[in-house]
Structure 1
Amino acid sequence: MVVIDAWMQHPTLRHLNHEMLESLRRWTGLELAEQAPPVSATVAALAEADVEIGLACAWYGPNEVLISNDEVAEFVAQSDGRLRGVAGADITRPMHAVRELRRAVNELGFVALRLVPWLWQLPPTDRLYYPLYAACVELGIPFCTQVGHTGPLRPSETGRPIPYIDQVALDFPELTIVCGHIGYPWTTEMIAVADKHANVYIDTSAYTAQRYPAELVDYVRGRGRRKVLFGSNYPMITPAKALGHLDELGLDDEARELFLAGNARRVFRL
């Protein structure tokens, strides 16, 4: 079983202990960390679940960088090929953000951009995102984002698939959009948007297989088998835990391979 993890991060101490993640620490039983884990620990967690490639994300937010692109590049370099980089950017400085994205892709070898709208408290239709969408199209990389309610202590409105993802896909039909965290409680909306737009996909990060909504499981089994990617949201959930009840989903061999690796390999051009 070969797996590609479409949403994970190797954390810094700044990321692990940020106040906004207090609710996630409460849910998962994690304590405040005294030091960040070594890259070898992340590699071991991926290997435990046969994860061939983990897409390690940077985290940029207002007035702070929790995981920088250069830190991600260092983690990738230490991972023996197990990690690939996903860039972040400061959307409040549009030209700097575009140049940084181009550097991350062209010089650091990153394979995507990820922006988390709740962190900025701006929906993905805000004009500050649009130069980066155009840059993603030019660079031939996907734009990754979060949909659904917000586990961290920030408002959830920015995670609505309709109208936000729907409108971005209409404005940028050439842009590949990967929507992480399923979209719950708007999962049906998220499926509708993925059906509507050829270049919109869903990843299952932040959920274990036993917690996937029934409508998403039906989608993966059927017409959506080429539209859904596995993600864990490590270190909050390990890939092994996320996949612990995979056999209960009733996926046939084709749907299982596409979900675990085939779709991500195609979408991210791995």
Structure 2
Amino acid sequence: MTRYEPAIDIDAITAIDVHVHVEIDAHGHSSLPDDLADAAASYFSTEGPRPDIDGVAAYYRERKMAAVVFTVDAETNFGHAAISSSEIAEGAARNNDVLIPFGSVDPLKPTAVAEARRLIDDHGVRGFKFHPTVQGFDPSDPVYFPLYETLQDAGVVALFHTGQTGIGAGMRGGRGLQLALSNPMLLDIVAAEHPELQIIMAHPSVPWQDEALSVATHKHNTWIDLSGWSPKYFPAELVRYANSIIKKRVLFGSDFPMITPDRWIRDAEQVAFKPEVLPGIMKDNAVRLLRLGDAG
């Protein structure tokens, strides 16, 4: 086992994509049950490759980008074994010139805190990905506070899916997945109770964009990543805030492989991001958040 240590040449990369899913492991196991994977691909109109961890590294290395990589452990809610976060961290350690590992633990499991500590201590993960709708939990419930305290004490990041999701979209009853669990206002409570925990609210939080902007404006331990939507569909208020009030806490993310960084960057040319703000969004803010300044 190799513990992850970053070896990223910050000056040599053009961007850091903070939202990259590993959807297939080296054994061919998928992160989602087949029916959900098919529905999500249809929702995003994607038929492209779903590379394993080494394939993801090659893809981003070719583009001179770094990527935060993770899966989502929703075994309790789905009855489907998750891709191993340990294997993702080991893959990132093999490719530490371009990859940054986040872990994932199932908050509904009684072992979640111990597993988070193991991934931090043994594997050196830099954060954790949560998807309240997919994992089936209310992130504001105090029962999960010991998990957040573990992350806060370790100085790692908590990245939460917010807003609409393509997972379950169009399926009968949305396959039972509840969108309300991903309202960013629930994270206001998490941020208030854990003021040193750095929280990323992933995606334009449709239909709760104003709520996300309110939280980000009020709680300066919160960040917004711009993944999961083509920039040409971004709400105008999100662009306005990204250009001004929260410009130091906005992050480039694609949602690869559902949306590629190539498409995101191409579509971003249609958005009125200020030229002086873009370097922060694309790389500098993530370098500061992930404490990568001394890497490489």
TM-score by length of 1: 0.90
Residues 89 and 103 in structure 2, CA contact (< 8 A), matched pair in contact too: no
Pairs aligned (count)? 265
- Distance, in Å, in 2 between the alignment partners of 1:16 and 1:106 is 27
Contact map agreement 2:101 2:126 (CA 8 A) in 1: yes
1:11 to 2:27 alignment? no
Local SS of the residue matching 1:173: coil
Going from structure 1 to structure 2, the CA distance change for 1:71 and 1:212 (only over 3 Å counts) comes to: same
- Residue 158 (1) aligns with residue 181 (2): yes
Residues 158-205 of structure 1, C-alpha deviations (whole Å, 9 max, x = no match): 11122x111111221221110112211111110011001010111111
The residue number in structure 2 matching 1:42 is 56
**Which stretches in structure 2 are left out of the alignment for 5+ residues?**
1-12, 169-176
- What's 2:254 paired with? 232
Q: Which residue of 2 aligns with 1:107?
A: 122
1:193-223 CA distance string (max 9 Å, x none): 1001010111111112212211111111111
Give the secondary-structure state (helix, strand or coil) at the position aligned to 1:99. helix
Q: 2:132 aligns with which of 104, 117, 121?
A: 117
Shift, 1:127, TM fit: 3.3
1:112 CA drift (Å): 0.3
User: What letter corresponds to residue 186 of structure 1 in structure 2?
Assistant: W
Shift of 1:32: 10
Between the aligned partners of 2:145 and 2:239, the Cα distance in structure 1 is: 32
- The answer on 1:266 being equivalent to 2:288 is yes
Moved over 6 A (4+): none
Moved more, 60-69 or 127-136: 60-69
Answering whether residue 82 of structure 2 is matched by residue 70 of structure 1, we say no
Letter in 1 for 2:248: R
Query: C-alpha separation between the residues in 1 aligned to 2:96 and 2:236?
Result: 37
User: Residue 73 of structure 2 corresponds to which residue in structure 1?
Assistant: 60
Displacement after TM superposition at 1:40 (Å): 4.4
SS at match of 1:145: strand
Deviations 1:91-118 (A, max 9, x none): 2234x22222122122212100111111
Give, as a single letter, the amino acid of the residue that structure 2 aligns with 1:169. A
Residue pair 1:7, 1:232 contacting (<8 A) in 2 also: yes
For structure 1, which segment, 247-256 or 1-10, has the greater mean C-alpha deviation from structure 2 after superposition?
Answer: 247-256
**In the alignment, residue 99 of structure 1 is paired with which amino acid?**
A
Aligned residue runs from structure 1 range 75-86, under 5 A: 75-79=91-95, 81-86=97-102
Deviates more, 1:57-66 or 1:140-149: 57-66
1:49 positional shift: 4.3
Say what the alpha-carbon RMSD is for the aligned residues: 2.1
Take 1:221 and 1:47, find their aligned partners in 2: how far apart are those partners? 29
Q: Which residue of 2 aligns with 1:168?
A: 190
Contact preservation (8 Å) 1:86, 1:113: yes
TM-score normalised by length of structure 2: 0.82
Of all paired residues, the percent bearing the same amino acid is: 28
CA-to-aligned-CA distance 1:30-58 (integer Å, 9 cap, x gap): 4598xx6344432343245442x211013
Query: Structure 1: any 5+ residue segments left out of the alignment?
Result: none
Q: Deviations over 1:63-106 (max 9, x none)?
A: 44322112212321343521111011122234x22222122122
What is the distance in 1 between the residues matched to 2:59 and 2:145? 35
Question: Offset of 1:9 from its aligned partner?
Answer: 1.7
Q: Deviations over 1:212-262 (max 9, x none)?
A: 211111111111211211111111111111111223323334310110111
